[in-house]
Amino acid sequence: MSKQQNILIIGAGLCGSLLALRLGQRGYNVTVYEMRPDLRKTDISAGRSINLAFSDRGNKAMKLVGIEDKVKALCIPMNGRMIHDKEGNTFLSNYSGRDHEYINSISREGLNSLLLDEAEKHNNVTIHFNKKCKSVDFENTTALFQDYNTKKEFIEDADCIIATDGAGSALRKSYYLGKKFLFSFSQNYLNHGYKELSILPTKTGDYKTYKNALHIWPRGDFMVIALPNLDGSFTVTLFLSYDEGEYNFNNLTTPERVTEFFQKEFPDALTLMPNLVDDFFKNPTAPLGTVKCSPWHYKGNTLLMGDSAHAIVPFYGQGMNASFEDVVEFDAVLDKHEGNWETVFSEYEKTRKKDTDAIADLAIDNFHEMKDHVGQEIFQEKRKIEMALEKEFPNEYSSKYSLVTFNEHIGYREAMLRGRAQDKAILNMLSDGIIKPSDNLKDILNKVKLETEAILEDDRIAGLK
Amino acid sequence: MSKQQNILIIGAGLCGSLLALRLGQRGYNVTVYEMRPDLRKTDISAGRSINLAFSDRGNKAMKLVGIEDKVKALCIPMNGRMIHDKEGNTFLSNYSGRDHEYINSISREGLNSLLLDEAEKHNNVTIHFNKKCKSVDFENTTALFQDYNTKKEFIEDADCIIATDGAGSALRKSYYLGKKFLFSFSQNYLNHGYKELSILPTKTGDYKTYKNALHIWPRGDFMVIALPNLDGSFTVTLFLSYDEGEYNFNNLTTPERVTEFFQKEFPDALTLMPNLVDDFFKNPTAPLGTVKCSPWHYKGNTLLMGDSAHAIVPFYGQGMNASFEDVVEFDAVLDKHEGNWETVFSEYEKTRKKDTDAIADLAIDNFHEMKDHVGQEIFQEKRKIEMALEKEFPNEYSSKYSLVTFNEHIGYREAMLRGRAQDKAILNMLSDGIIKPSDNLKDILNKVKLETEAILEDDRIAGLK
């Protein structure tokens, strides 16, 4: 294979700009087309989340491209969930019993800008903005674009095309509408949508509430969360049903009703948000969807990567991390099969899809956990036991959350299977009185390990695998 | 509500013609548009299965419309699965330990003709053929049709529109492309396709192999099945991967290779099919897909029913039965809420969707069971135990298969949850030596019941429901 091969990347978001950087480092001629303006020059945050959770799987990719330290400077560590009850009482539930395991709040704009800057340092990487992809001819490896300013359409060809154009991917749409092969596809929406709000800094630029946590106000059927920004503000997100329950997005139509809702359900948050009503009616309400599909690739011509292949709901804080891990996995497959795009693409999908399917399902699980379970006693007992196990036996126990978030050496699917079995083991043994939080920790650990193995083995036999 | 309300039904297949009959009986003005010619006057079987499995849930609908006896005359009872191994040995595995529980082979054409005849007996029911629905304007409750003969397009309106137009539904497509509301949708294909073949009658018109069974040649990764027809023939279906394994649809391209494949894998079937090669190259290869979506309805204007709402793979023999049961469930909701279509539609979806989701998943389970598990020893031991339990304790035990197929008073979802738990209980107790086929049956029954309850309870606690 000649390294002068031309690769066309559709989309210069987080995944696309990282991929451009990595393929640039590998020596390919990379051309990227992005539909939005250059976010380093314009304010275009509207409609997309302002900050994101960044953790170990994402960091694995930053190490790969050698910018770990630069990214670290953008991060605000969050050591746990700060749970706020209706009376305004708070308690901190750490993400792990191991002190070095935490997640970070990071600015989408800051991180994306860094990745674009790093990619453009390579002469063999070119990034064009304001060029929207309309469709992809995957049989001829060409893409149709429209320039936002001139409105003119033009066609680009390449040796292969990789679409990192997000949940509304033009390539995925071309696969679906093309009907040239059997394309399995799903889009599933929750009955809940989300709206971004904000807690502004104090007059002196300080944080109005505890900085180093992901704040959650869980209320069973809905919730509010908040993540810190470097400027002292928090980005707040309300997750709420469109049409169910006493208060929902469809019936929160007046300032009075919005204030009443927050007064009743989130009084301590309301006092931090004098700007609530303005934010509420200025910012859009957006849906929460999961997208899965297969195949991701057409021969060696085209490939879906990142959200275009597997958009997930945000509740595990893994959307960006999963897309970054895509690039790491893709890079590893390139090491093995470079020179044969069809083998690279099909091998990549084969090894990767089971894991992105798993994180999609885990993210739905966590929706219920965050808005509801974290407020339940048996769940809190389980978390207490898990924190103690992780602290006391740091090399012998990792909770489902830790397996997913801090154990980047195992795949999401393995983390899901083991993590779910552990959860089931602990919850059932607590319910049956087989373990109590006050028991000797070593005894608890042994029982949890045995019961987890038994659950996995029972499932294996029932599945006749 | 005035009973002169006009209902437009799109599609006069099995579900549409039954629905027309039932709504005609209830006094509505019913107009049906079908894209195909009238199957009572033309041979249009190509591309659709020739015969189908008909069982208790379907029969519930026949009782509702009062044609149970007429349908019975079309049925050929199949008491069990006749398993054929590679050496041509056969053994019969009954569907139930209760003699009165069996399924039937029925001709699609015969049954559909009967339903059309019965529907047309009502003056308030009109059926038009050769009129293809192109799209539905669900906000204005109108549908656009094209006449196959004249090619002319025309628009029809109605008080409400119900689409029973199958897996490729025009209404579902209009929901998806309309983007007027959040539409969750999935289409998932197996890697296997299917092709219909045939075993012709003997010269004297007799059946060449045992008549009253569903014949299966399970081979792990692929299989052949055969269902009897009234004329002495069997309709045979080959289920095979498109592109995996030594033999697949993509590489079975010559008569020699097709014959070699059957000689090696299905020698006893080959001797019954001198016409194999002709059938193989004459008949199409068709995909196996599952479709789920939500919502099924738009306000009180439009509704998806049958395959248009929930197409499933054929491995549980429940596709037609599920669609017929749709009509029964819909009729029951009409009894409660007649006069308010929006309430009828939303209530119907709410009660019904959980069950059609379940049968979709069960049908995938059974794909693996039929092509693979039925040939495994532990599975055969489980079936032997279940047959004995059903025979000995007919009122106390029903296998998953019986719950799904013969217990039409419970929903598919309940059948799935209980049936899966029972399977897991028996397989694990067999594997652990806690039960043996030679044990006292009453002891086995008690152990299975206890273990099943424990499994359901463990799942309940782990789900925190």
pLDDT in the model for residue A1: 44
Partner-chain contact B424 A458, CB within 8 Å = yes
| Least confident stretch, A4-13, B44-53, B116-125, B451-460 | B44-53
How many residues in chain B? 465
3-class secondary structure, A87? coil
Cβ of residue B134 closer than 8 Å to a chain A Cβ: no
Q: β-strands A160-163, A302-304: how paired?
A: parallel
pLDDT in the model for residue A271: 96
Mean pLDDT of A168-187: 96
Q: For residue B25, what pLDDT band results from cuts at 50, 70 and 90?
A: very high
User: Looking at the predicted structure, is the pLDDT value of residue A46 above 60?
Assistant: no
pLDDT in the model for residue B3: 53
Cα angle at B77 between B73 and B79, to 5 degrees? 165
pLDDT in the model for residue B45: 56
Which comes out higher in pLDDT, residue B44 or A149?
Answer: A149
Q: For residue B401, what pLDDT band results from cuts at 50, 70 and 90?
A: very high
Alpha-carbon distances, residue B196 vs A257, B103, B235, B237, B285 (angstroms): 62, 20, 7, 5, 8
Q: For residue B373, what pLDDT band results from cuts at 50, 70 and 90?
A: confident
Bridge partner residues of B185 (DSSP): A187, B293
Report how far residue B126's alpha carbon sits from residue B119's, in angstroms, rounded to the nearest whole number: 8
Report how far residue A329's alpha carbon sits from residue A64's, in angstroms, rounded to the nearest whole number: 11
Helical spans, DSSP H, in A311-433: 319-337, 341-371, 377-392, 400-406, 412-431
Cβ of residue A73 closer than 8 Å to a chain B Cβ: no
Give all strands (DSSP E) within A66-209, no chain letters: 76-78, 80-84, 90-94, 103-107, 125-128, 131-137, 142-147, 153-157, 160-163, 184-199
Bridge partner residues of A286 (DSSP): A194
Cβ of residue B250 closer than 8 Å to a chain A Cβ: no
Nearest CA in chain A to B375: A464
Residue with tokens 């809420």: B337
The beta-carbon neighbor of B462 closest among A372, A423, A462 is A423
Report how far residue B266's alpha carbon sits from residue A146's, in angstroms, rounded to the nearest whole number: 56
Whole-angstrom distance between the N-terminal and C-terminal Cα of chain A? 40
| Least confident stretch, A113-127, A355-369, B39-53, B59-73 | B39-53
Averaged pLDDT score across all residues of chain A? 94
Report the top-level CATH class of B6-75+107-187+289-367. alpha beta
Cβ of residue B454 closer than 8 Å to a chain A Cβ: no
Mean pLDDT of A184-212: 96
Alpha-carbon distances, residue B128 vs A35, B148, B296, B306 (angstroms): 48, 11, 24, 20
Mean pLDDT of B154-183: 96
From the candidates A173, A188, A374, which should be mutated to test the interface with B, based on the most B CB atoms within 10 A? A188
Q: For residue B47, what pLDDT band results from cuts at 50, 70 and 90?
A: very low
Sheet with strand B76-78: strands edge to edge: B51-54, B103-107, B76-78
User: Which tokens belong to B378?
Assistant: 């532990």
The answer to whether A193 touches A285, Cβ cutoff 8 Å, is: yes
The answer to whether A230 touches A77, Cβ cutoff 8 Å, is: no
Averaged pLDDT score across all residues of chain B? 94
Q: For residue B220, what pLDDT band results from cuts at 50, 70 and 90?
A: confident
Nearest CA in chain A to B287: A182
pLDDT in the model for residue B193: 97
pLDDT in the model for residue A42: 83
Partner-chain contact B182 A289, CB within 8 Å = yes
Cis preceding-peptide flag for A314 (omega within 30 of 0): no
Q: For residue A463, what pLDDT band results from cuts at 50, 70 and 90?
A: confident
Nearest CA in chain B to A459: B424
pLDDT in the model for residue A4: 73
Q: What is the pLDDT of residues A234-253, one digit of tens each?
A: 999 999 999 999 999 999 99
Residues 6+ apart with CB under 8 A from A123: none
> Backbone phi, then psi, for B323, in 5-degree steps?
-70, -40
Angle of helix B377-392 versus helix B441-462 axis, rounded to 10: 110
| Three-state SS sequence of chain B | CCCCCEEEEECCCHHHHHHHHHHHHCCCEEEEECCCCCCCCCCCCCCCCCEEEECHHHHHHHHHHCCHHHHHCCCEEECEEEEECCCCCEEEEECCCCCCCCEEEEEHHHHHHHHHHHHHCCCCEEEECCEEEEEEECCCCEEEEEECCCCCEEEEECCEEEECCCCCCHHHHHHHHHCCCCCEEEEEEEEEEEEEEEECCCCCCCCCCCCCCEEEEECCCCEEEEEECCCCCEEEEEEEECCCCCCCCCCCCCHHHHHHHHHHHCHHHHHHCCCHHHHHHHCCEEEEEEEEEECCEECCCEEECCHHHHCCCHHHCCHHHHHHHHHHHHHHHHHHHCCCHHHHHHHHHHHHHHHHHHHHHHHHHHHHHHHCHHHCHHHHHHHHHHHHHHHHCCCCCCCHHHHHHCCCCCCHHHHHHHHHHHHHHHHHHHHCCCCCCCCCHHHHHHHHHHHHHHHHHHHHHHCCC
pLDDT in the model for residue B462: 87
Nearest CA in chain A to B288: A182
Q: β-strands A80-84, A131-137: how paired?
A: unpaired
Mean pLDDT of B373-400: 91
3-class secondary structure, A406? helix
Nearest CA in chain B to A378: B464
Residues 280-319 of B with CB under 8 A from A: 287, 289, 292
pLDDT in the model for residue A464: 55
Mean pLDDT of B272-281: 97
pLDDT in the model for residue A74: 97
Cβ of residue B458 closer than 8 Å to a chain A Cβ: yes
Mean pLDDT of A300-325: 97
Residue with tokens 């006057």: B41
Q: What is the pLDDT of residues B123-163, one digit of tens each?
A: 999 999 999 999 999 999 999 999 999 999 999 999 999 99
Residue B452 C-beta-side C-alpha neighbours within 13 Å: 20
> Backbone phi, then psi, for A218, in 5-degree steps?
-80, 130
User: Looking at the predicted structure, is the pLDDT value of residue B48 above 80?
Assistant: no
Cβ of residue A464 closer than 8 Å to a chain B Cβ: yes
- 8-state DSSP, A31: E
Partner-chain contact B187 A187, CB within 8 Å = no
> Backbone phi, then psi, for B78, in 5-degree steps?
-125, 110
Residues 167-196 of B with CB under 8 A from A: 182-189
Mean pLDDT of B351-363: 97
Report the top-level CATH class of A6-74+107-187+289-367. alpha beta
Mean pLDDT of A94-119: 95
Q: For residue A48, what pLDDT band results from cuts at 50, 70 and 90?
A: low
Q: For residue B464, what pLDDT band results from cuts at 50, 70 and 90?
A: low
3-class secondary structure, A303? strand
Cβ of residue A427 closer than 8 Å to a chain B Cβ: yes
In chain A, what percentage of residues exceed pLDDT 90?
Answer: 91
Whole-angstrom distance between the N-terminal and C-terminal Cα of chain B? 40
pLDDT in the model for residue A47: 47
The answer to whether B43 touches B334, Cβ cutoff 8 Å, is: no
Cβ of residue B441 closer than 8 Å to a chain A Cβ: no
Cβ of residue A140 closer than 8 Å to a chain B Cβ: no
pLDDT in the model for residue A44: 64
Report how far residue B198's alpha carbon sits from residue B225's, in angstroms, rounded to the nearest whole number: 10
Partner-chain contact A464 B427, CB within 8 Å = yes
Using an 8 Å CB-CB cutoff, list chain B residues near A376.
464
User: Which tokens belong to A250?
Assistant: 């469809």
pLDDT in the model for residue A277: 97
Partner-chain contact A185 B187, CB within 8 Å = yes
3-class secondary structure, A22? helix
The beta-carbon neighbor of A464 closest among B189, B242, B373 is B373
Cβ of residue A465 closer than 8 Å to a chain B Cβ: no
Cα angle at B333 between B331 and B339, to 5 degrees? 95
Report how far residue B171's alpha carbon sits from residue B168's, in angstroms, rounded to the nearest whole number: 9
Exposed (0-12), middle (13-18) or buried (19+): which is B423, by Cβ within 10 Å? Answer: buried
- 8-state DSSP, A284: P
Buried/exposed A420-454: b ≥16 CB within 10 Å, e otherwise:
bbbbbbbbbbbbeeebeeeeeeeebbebbeebbee
From the candidates A175, A180, A182, A342, which should be mutated to test the interface with B, based on the most B CB atoms within 10 A? A182
Alpha-carbon distances, residue B220 vs B10, B136, B241, B242, B373 (angstroms): 40, 43, 12, 15, 8
From the candidates A189, A364, A373, A452, which should be mutated to test the interface with B, based on the most B CB atoms within 10 A? A189
From the candidates A177, A181, A184, which should be mutated to test the interface with B, based on the most B CB atoms within 10 A? A184
Partner-chain contact A376 B428, CB within 8 Å = no
Cis preceding-peptide flag for A77 (omega within 30 of 0): no
pLDDT in the model for residue B44: 64
**ipTM passes above 0.85:** yes
Question: Which of the residue ranges A84-98, A285-299, A362-376 has the most confident prediction, judged by mean pLDDT?
Answer: A285-299
The answer to whether B407 touches B398, Cβ cutoff 8 Å, is: yes
User: Which tokens belong to A1?
Assistant: 């294979």
Using an 8 Å CB-CB cutoff, list chain B residues near A368.
464
CA distance B334 to chain A (A): 24
